[in-house]
Every structure is written in structure tokens, then in C-alpha cells.
Structure 1
């Protein structure tokens, strides 16, 4: 399958790379890592990474591209870190001459001439880094940093499962290619003063369900008080991670449009089926979905409690 991927790339002069809505470090790192490597080894091809990118990255890490509709229509579109087209950030990808996919989420939808899904990999950047290094022997420094960034963020600094020897070996290979752990950590884990205040509020106000659920419900007004929006606040879900006696932790953050972003996490209990039940998806122990109003949060909590009780 990996060789089919590179054979497909050989066939196109223009390649566009896309990711999911609200791109995280893994989405950004996958897009940029792939773009920079292909530009390095195919200097005559036109290769672009599209989307809104990831703000919490070192200043010298490459940025995203902007292209017109015609460029996309005449390209091979490679979609990374995305299980289903419903979460595609730039919908123009579907107008391309052909699609390819590289993803690590639980399978949701088949698409693409080449469809690479490896659910036992902690990040899409891990899949791509392994593929690119195996095929070319190395990746340029401009790709190594973003690829390592994605691997670090999606693994939670190598905390979340699945972490195995290939994860650590690939991280070491990226370091050999010029990626710097310190450079990435210095940016990712720099703490803003407002985040300390926000975490303080979370620690004092999170709720618990007797079945073993810790959760936080944040209205758009409360988020505005602390200077956050729904998407940036959702990243604080692991502030209430691994509390003794809690099997699942959930964040509900309301957007200005009233749409609620729901982030579900656990240290072992399968939350992905719960996210799917509410129209979302993701990983077995890290998933998300959306609600059309904040008042519906109780439906999610009740459903999780029901599923926990079934498993006991």
C-alpha cells in the first residue's frame, strides 16, 4: 500500500494536501511534513498544503499555502488525519482529479485511490514519517520538525496509547533529521497567565457523575470572561484527566453560534462509540462530537453513564 501511495504521487505534477476542521498539531504536522518532503525530492512538482494551520508552533516552522480553485481541480489531493469527508476543512479537495488518504482514526469512510488507515498508530504524522523515511531514507529538517510536533501533540508527549517501539524509534529518526524536542516543547508548553486563571476555574467548578464521569460545561459567556472561544477552550479537556475514580472526562464548550463542541476522553473506556452515537467520531479513548444547544449536555452524560453501567 505504501508503494502504491508513492506511485500515485509520481503520476501528478500538482499535489494539494488537506486536513480536518479545527486543525491540531497532528493535522498541521502531517500536511507540512508531507509537503516539505515531497518538495525536497520532487523539486519540479507543484505541492501545496491548504487549511488554517496550527498557531502553537515554532516561528520558523513553515506556514500554509493559498491556491485557486483551478489548481485544486487539476491536482492529486492527499487528505491527512481525517476519517470522513464530513470533517474536511477545505471542501474544494473533493473537486481534485483524484484523492488519497492517510489516517489513523477508527475507520469511518472509504475514499481515495489509495486509502491508508492504520488505527494502531498514535498519530497521522507517525504513519507519514515512517513511510517517508522508509521510502526516501530521510526527510528534510523543514519536514522533520512539523512531523515531530504532530507526534508529540497527538501522543500527549508520549503519554497516550498506543505508544510502542516504532513510535519512539520514529521520533528518534526525526531528531536525527534535524527536529528539536526543545524547540517544540518551548512553544507548546509555554503557559499563558490567562490559562492559569482558566484552569483554576475549571478545577473549582468541574462536575462529577456517580458512574465515574468528570465533566465541565462552559457557556459562551463564561468562555468570553476568560478570553477563550469554544475551540481553544476544548483543548483544556485533559485538565480534568485521570481523576481518581473517574472513568471518562468530558468538556462541553459553547460557540458564539450556539453550537457546542464536545470532547470525550478516557484512560481505557471506549468513548468513540459514544461520539458516533451523537454524530461524531475519533479514537477509541479520545473522540468528539457536536450538539446544537448547550442544554443537551445532560443527554450526553446520561448516555455515557448508561454505557458505563452496561460494561460493569
Structure 2
């Protein structure tokens, strides 16, 4: 499969890389890391990453502005995106050929060529594996910038190597990546330093979350609370793991109200939660998923179902 992907890439002059909406470090890492590798390996090709920029990830990189005309006859590669509804920039359909590279469950087998590995810690780890194949068989090259952002993607999706998805292969990959020239301290500062208002909101979460006797927990963050602390909905993504430090917790939900929906962030230390997420316009990994609801009554339904999972 990797050889097929490499052969397909070599055949196209223009390559446009997509990732999922509401990007996280792995979405940026896999898409922009692949871009950096391809630019270093094929200087004659036009390589772009499309999608709406997430300001909290500005320390990593910025996507490109891609015109409708550039999609004509282009190869489209979608990384880190399980289903078509979550692909950022729906113009992906306008390309000539679509490749899917992902590590989520393959519930939506879209694309003309698919490489899905649910055992990989991250899509960024898969991109490095693709690079290894390309280096051995097509003289692919890795840039320092690509190594930096792939490293960030792996760190982000493994929770700094704490999640069960972290494997021997993961550590071998990052061991290779840190041989390139980038400042890990500066990178970690960008990933984990937060403004004081976000820390104040974290304190609010610790004070007001609710957990039952079986270890099911939740916190609701309505718009009024976000405005009170001066925090955007996207910034709360930095806090979703906070409740994982609570002794006795099994699984938890953070509800974040936006103008048009309530974002549902689910995390678990054991109970499988991605099937629950699928019931509410979402999905993801067995222990880390996301969904969307449109009323607080529906949010209470999700809480009730999480409690049953934890019994």
C-alpha cells in the first residue's frame, strides 16, 4: 500500500493535502509534515495544505490559500480524517484522485486509495513510516521543519506518550525525528504553555466537575462561562485532559457550548466511548472521541449513557 501511495504521488504535478476540521497537532503534523517531505523530495511539484487555520496552532505552521483552479487534475491526500463529513475544505471532491491516510476506525472507506492503520499512535507516525518507504525506494528527503511538526503531531496524539496507543514503533519514530535540527523546548512551550485566563478556567473545571461513584464524570461549559473567563471554544481543547488526573475517574465528558452547537469531548481510561460518540454526530478513537449535540437536554442523555458504560 505504501508503495502504491508513493507511486501515485510521483505521477502528479499538483498535490493538495487535507485534514479534519477543528484541527489538533496531529492534523497539522500529518498534513504539513507530509507537505514538507514532498517539497524536499519533489522540488518541481506544487504541494499545498488546505483548510481553515486554527490560531492556537500558529506556532506550528499555517495552511495555504488554494484556488479552485488548482484542484483541477490534482492529487488529493486526506490525513487523520475518519469520515468525509469531517474533511476540512469539501473541495477535496474536485481533485482527480483521492488518497486516505488515517489511524481512526475505517467506518467511512472513502477515497480511491486507502491506507488505514488503527494500531498507529497517530497519522503523523504513519507519515513518517511512509517517508521511510519513500527514502528507501524513491530517494525521499526529510526537512527539519517536517521533522519538527511530525514530532509535535505524535506528541499531541499520544498525550506526551502516556496513551495506550504509544508503541515501540512510536518511540523508534521520535528517536529518529529528534536527530533533525529543531528546538524541542520551544516546541513544547508552544504546545503546553497557556494564558492565565485558561488556567483560571481549568480551576473552575476542577471545582465544578461532577463524578459519580462509578467514575463517570462531566463538566458543562456554557457560552456564559467561556465569556466570563475570556476563553474561546477552541482553546478549551487544551484542557480536555485535565480531569484525567482525578483519582478514580474512568471516563469523562467536557461539554463546550458554541453559537450553533454544543461540542462534546469524550475521554476514557478504559470504557470504549467512540460508539457513544457515533450516536451523536461524532466518532474517534476507543478512548478519545468527539461529538456534537444541540441542546443541554441531549447533553444529559449523553451523560446518562456514559454512566451506564462505567458501571
Q: TM-score, normalised by structure 1?
A: 0.94
In the other structure, the counterpart of 1:285 is: 287
1:35 maps to 35
Q: Does 1:249 align with 2:241?
A: no
> Counterparts of 1:25 and 1:297 in 2: how far apart (Å)?
27
Between 149-158 and 227-236, report the one with greater CA deviation: 227-236
Partner of 1:5: 5
What's the CA shift string for 1:141-186, capped at 9, x where partnerless? 1211111111111111111121111101100111113243222112
Contact 1:223 1:230 in 2 (8 A): yes
Partner SS, residue 74 of structure 1: coil
2:159 is aligned with 1:156: yes
CA–CA distance in structure 2, aligned partners of residues 227 and 145 of structure 1: 31
Q: What's the TM-score, normalizing by structure 2?
A: 0.94
CA displacement at 1:31 relative to structure 2: 1.1
State how 1:190-205 maps to structure 2 within 5 Å: 190-205=193-208
Counterpart of 2:82 in structure 1 is: 83
CA distance in 1, matches of 2:5, 2:96: 15
Q: Is the 8 A contact 2:56 2:235 kept in 1?
A: no
Q: 1:62 to 1:289 in 2, by over 3 A?
A: closer
Map 1:1-312 → 2, pairs under 5 A: 1-57=1-57, 59=59, 61-136=60-135, 138-257=141-260, 259-309=261-311
Does structure 1 retain, via aligned residues, the 8 Å contact 2:198–2:231?
no
**8 Å contact 2:251–2:310 — kept in the other structure?**
no
Instruction: Measure the CA separation in 2 of the matches of 1:179 and 1:152.
Output: 15
Whole-angstrom CA distance in 2 between matches of 1:98 and 1:193: 46
Contact between 2:102 and 2:123, CA under 8 Å: does it hold in 1? yes
Judge conservation of contact 1:34–1:143 (CA < 8 Å) in 2: yes
Alpha-carbon distance in 2 for matches of 1:224, 1:234: 16
Q: Deviations over 1:183-239 (max 9, x none)?
A: 211211213111221111111111113332111011111111111222322431211
Tell me how far apart the structure 2 counterparts of residues 169 and 234 of structure 1 sit (CA, whole Å). 28
Partner of 1:274: helix, strand, or coil? helix
Give the Å deviation of 1:54: 4.3
Deviation at 1:242, TM superposition (A): 4.2
Report SS of the residue matched to 2:178: helix
Distance across 1 between alignment mates of 2:216 and 2:182 = 38
Any conservation in 2 of the 1:275–1:287 contact (CA below 8 Å)?
yes
Q: Given that residues 62 and 142 in structure 1 are in contact (C-alpha distance below 8 angstroms), is that contact kept between their aligned partners in structure 2?
A: no
Cα displacement string for residues 102-132 of structure 1 (whole angstroms, at most 9, x for unaligned residues): 1011121111222011101111000001211
Count of residue pairs brought into register by the alignment: 307
Alignment root-mean-square deviation, CA: 1.6
Instruction: State the distance in 1 between where 2:61 and 2:194 align.
Output: 23
Which sections of structure 1, spanning at least 5 residues, go unmatched? none
Change (3 A) 1:232 1:27: same
Gaps of 5+ in 2: none
